[in-house]
């Protein structure tokens, strides 16, 4: 069975799914799409009209990165990308939640910056959340060690894909060079943790790529 992952080249959400597939040794091919464009195929596959979408050979569609990761975990339990011990599971789920919500906060900042008149109070509020989450993560990942031949978990995937995207946004031209994206110098434990994850083959194989998209046009 070969899955098709419908993805956008820079998408951190799609990257999470690709990393989980690679970590589990599941074969897949990629079909790229621009979800904001007129020609997008997303409505054919997902009522939410968002990427990523994972399509089975029989046409069954699984969508939303959080649900896809959960689906893969149930259908392909080995290697496990979540711990079984309850305390460890709840801790991993909390890291996952923070990584995913942080991505939504960044998404909100990026989109706001593409509005004709960005709201400074709105951006300030989102930036406070970024600092709050990073402060919390700095404490949470202090003792977390990433080992090459040991499985990672959904929390690792969510946090690292989110924070690595920040470093891609400015050079790719998707966001102005705003201070909040430069998290690395302020959170050394998080930086060490993210760098260890970024060196894994599943991350190296899925580095975000630029895509021709005009975000301002989607916000006017
Ligand atoms: N909660 C979703 C968010 C996915 C998402 O925002 N995808 C973007 C591409 S990176 C998209 O398809 N945006 C189009 C839209 O929201 O209409 C997930 O985790 O899969």
Which residues of the chain are in CATH 1.20.1050.10 domains? Answer: 86-204
Q: What is residue 219's predicted lDDT score, i.e. its pLDDT?
A: 60
User: Count of alpha carbons within 13 Å of 91, Cβ hemisphere only?
Assistant: 12
Tens digits of per-residue pLDDT, 35-49?
A: 988 899 999 999 999
Contact 52, 10 (CB under 8 A): no
Q: What is residue 139's predicted lDDT score, i.e. its pLDDT?
A: 97
70 lines ligand 1 (CB under 6 A): no
* CA–CA distance, 177 with 11 (Å, rounded to integer): 19
Distance (angstroms) between ligand 1 centre and the Cα of 51 equals 5
Residue 164 CB partners (closer than 8 Å, separation 6+): 12, 194, 198, 203, 208
Sheet holding 61-63, edge to edge: 28-32, 3-7, 53-55, 61-63
Helix extents (H) in 4-119: 12-23, 42-45, 65-75, 86-113
Topology, domain 86-204: Glutathione S-transferase Yfyf (Class Pi); Chain A, domain 2 (1.20.1050)
* Residue whose pair of structure tokens reads 């464009």 in the numeric block: 37
* Radius of gyration of the chain from its Cα atoms, rounded to whole angstroms: 17
Report strand pairing: 28-32 vs 53-55.
unpaired
Distance (angstroms) between ligand 1 centre and the Cα of 87 equals 30
- DSSP code of 116? S
CATH of domain 3-79+211-218: 3.40.30.10
Residue 187 CB partners (closer than 8 Å, separation 6+): 134, 135, 137, 138
**pTM value surpassing 0.85:** yes
Atom of ligand 1 nearest to the CA of 36: 14
Distance (angstroms) between ligand 1 centre and the Cα of 147 equals 30
Which residues of the chain are in CATH 3.40.30.10 domains? Answer: 3-79+211-218
Positions in the chain short of pLDDT 50: none
Tens digits of per-residue pLDDT, 52-98?
A: 999 999 999 999 999 999 999 999 999 999 999 999 999 999 999 99
């Amino acid at each position: 069975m070969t899955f098709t992952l419908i993805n956008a080249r820079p998408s951190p959400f799609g990257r999470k799914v690709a990393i989980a597939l690679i970590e589990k040794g599941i074969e897949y091919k990629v079909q790229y799409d621009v979800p904001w464009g007129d020609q997008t195929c997303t409505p054919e596959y997902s009522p939410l009209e968002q990427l990523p979408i994972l399509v089975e050979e029989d046409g069954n569609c699984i969508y939303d990165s959080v649900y896809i990761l959960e689906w893969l975990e149930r259908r392909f339990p080995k290697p496990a990308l979540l711990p079984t011990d309850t305390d460890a599971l709840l801790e991993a789920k909390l890291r996952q939640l923070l990584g995913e919500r942080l991505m939504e906060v960044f998404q909100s900042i990026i989109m706001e910056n593409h509005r004709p008149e960005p709201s400074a109070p709105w951006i300030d509020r989102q930036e406070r959340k970024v600092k709050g989450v990073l402060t919390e993560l700095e404490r949470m990942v202090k003792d977390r060690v990433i080992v090459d031949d040991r499985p990672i978990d959904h929390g690792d995937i969510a946090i690292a894909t989110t924070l690595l995207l920040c470093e891609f946004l400015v050079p790719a031209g998707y966001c102005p060079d705003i201070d909040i994206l430069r998290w690395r110098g302020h959170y050394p434990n998080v930086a060490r943790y993210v760098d260890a994850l970024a060196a894994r083959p599943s991350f190296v194989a899925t580095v975000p790529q630029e895509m021709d998209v005009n975000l301002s046009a989607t916000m006017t």
